[in-house]
Amino acid sequence: MLENQDEIREKENHRVFKQLLNTFMKEEYNNEKKENIEYAQNIKIIPKMYFDDFNKRMKIEFKIGEKQFYKIKNLPDFYTKMLHQEPYQYGTKLNLIHRKESFSEDSIPILEFMLKYAEIMKYNNEEADNYTYYKKAYALDNIFVSNIGLDDLFDALKNTEVSFQRNTTEKTIYFSSEEPEIPFIIKQLDNNKFQFETNIDIFSYEILEGKDYIYLLLQDAIYRCSKQFENNTLKILQVLRKNYTNQIIIDEQELTSFFAIIAPNISQDIQKENLSPEIEKRCIPKPLGVKIFLDYDKNNYITADIRFCYEDFEFNPLINENIKIARNIIKENEVLHQFLKTGFMLDRAKSRLILTKDDAIYQFLSEEMDEYLKKYEVLATDAFKKKEIHGFQIKNLGIRIENNLLEIDLSQIGIDLADLAEILQKYQLKKKFYRLKDGSYIKLEDNESIAFLEDLATNMEIDTKDISKGIIALPAYRTLYLDKMLKSLKNVNIKKDDSYQDMIDKLENNAENSDIEIPKELNANLRNYQKIGYQWLKTLDEYNFGGILADDMGLRKNIASISCYFII
């Protein structure tokens, strides 16, 4: 007998339900199984690095365990197990649930490195599997360390020791966050010659390039090096290596150039052997001092006269003359470069530097001057000191009611009104400063007083040229809005005449104003809010203001509005 459709549908539903039930029963069984099995904790990760001298490439493998360690043969598979927190038994001595909590605290950085690059391997290999003719992108048991990878690896292993195999030699190598101390020596020989050398084997180091750093593989350590170390010490080592020597012979007449140009680039002090006092005095530069004399010229440009000082000897570095002393050329160039970076240009006629652009002058005075004062001896004329940056603030402001007009007196605000229109234009254009005719500057950023004047012009619809006249006349109905603006001003002497103050008091206290009575001719009983509406309109009429009772359902404005007919 054939089953009908309902019976088939019922069996199918029962089958799906059993499948759903078994799924959760299996999950519950697995959870119970996990709870009854002892899983390893405090697992350590032991990395091992390999360096290929021929290709200058580095790779890294990993073992995990407690007392007995097992090599990870498939890093993408390890990543997948960690992703799903899967249990797995690597051998008789290691039963592991793949989660971060299973690993020792000191292994977490290298674990995160492994997972980052194992994930890349996993998805690259899965992509490669889509093409039958394409081989796997990576070996599964190691990570080749790229430029970016070297930075990440160093972050994970810094200040730790790692097993390291180079060709057939295996040793322990230290990841040092300190730069190496490379000893350099200058010694005087018997024949008035000098020998510059280093006592390290110039063929024993390797330079490894990360993305953001350069690394030096030297003896039993990998050092992370700064750009300064790379550009100075490493360059000296490279010159020595290219010439297959660890020493250079220098003539006496070249010794001054050595100490002026080469020695300042070496990060640590050069060891000196057998140098006579006469040679040191004649060839080794004394500390460089810098004097700067600042002034303004007739165009209000900043001028800078420079003097370089070696003890009692001073000279102008912008004049081409034969200076017969040992000089620190590197330091001198740094000083001149700072002036160029600020925007100074050479005034050849007067052998000095000059700063001409307003933006650069303002930047120099407001931000860069402090750095110059810290590093150099800066002297300035009285004229220079007077042309400083002012933080303009309104001093006095007058407000009065005259002929039913609101008048604002700006004549005593503390600034030349002839500049005011242009100041406000600069402020509206988001400029940082305004330069006055005397060469000094007004700071416009975060300036409460300038913001008030700009709001006054914009919100009161006043032409900025009218503001410059000193007296602004506005309709009296602007009174409340102006008073609200005035409350934002701090430390300003605001003079308000009696008529203005009376108007403000009445307008603000209208709800409590018992002087205004409801007309007796009105044959109606007003509720309290209707009385307030009437009193408000009556107050506005007293000062010839207009007013509106806004529409809202159920407030019974009709009677309040009718009562207003009695105002006139």
The whole-angstrom separation of Cα 474 and Cα 459 is 12
pLDDT tens-digit series, residues 338-356: 999 999 999 999 999 999 9
For residue 522, the SS3 value is coil
| pLDDT given for residue 342 in this prediction | 94
Q: Is the pLDDT of residue 52 over 60?
A: yes
Strands (E) in 361-500, as ranges, are 377-380, 389-390, 396-402, 405-409, 433-435, 441-443, 471-475, 493-496
Q: What is the pLDDT of residues 56-108, one digit of tens each?
A: 889 999 999 988 999 999 999 999 999 999 999 988 888 888 999 999 999 99
**In degrees rounded to 5, what are phi and psi of residue 499?**
-65, -40
d(CA 439, CA 446): 21
> pLDDT (tens digit, 9 = 90+) per residue, 416-443?
777 887 888 888 888 888 888 878 888 8
Instruction: Grade residue 138 by pLDDT with cuts at 50, 70 and 90.
Output: low
**Predicted pLDDT at 553:** 46
Q: Write down the pTM of the prediction.
A: 0.59
CA atoms within 13 A on the CB side of 290: 21
C-beta separation of 204 from 220 below 8 A: no
pLDDT of 128 reads 60
| Inter-residue contact 172 to 162 (CB < 8 Å) | yes
The tokens of 143 are what? 């990570």
Residue 52 and residue 166 in contact, taking contact as beta carbons nearer than 8 Å: no
Average pLDDT score, the chain: 81
Strand pairing category for 169-176 and 161-166: antiparallel
- Annotate 73-131 with DSSP letters as a single string: S-HHHHHHHHHHT-EEEEETTEEEE-SGGGB-GGGHHHHHHHHHHHHHHHHHHHHHTTS
Distance CA 62, CA 90 (A): 14
226/214 Cα distance (integer angstroms): 7
For the chain, the structural domain boundaries read 1-32, 44-165, 180-283, 288-379, 390-505, 510-567
Mean pLDDT for 535-555 is 55
Spatial neighbors of 114 by CB under 8 A, at least 6 apart, are 45, 62, 72, 75, 78, 79, 143
Q: In angstroms, rounded to a whole number, what is the distance separating the alpha carbons of residues 213 and 230?
A: 9
Structure tokens at 441: 């500057």
Residues above pLDDT 70, as percent of the chain? 83
495 confidence band (pLDDT: 50, 70, 90): confident
The larger pLDDT score, comparing residue 566 to residue 427, is at 427
Amino acid in the structure at residue 564: C
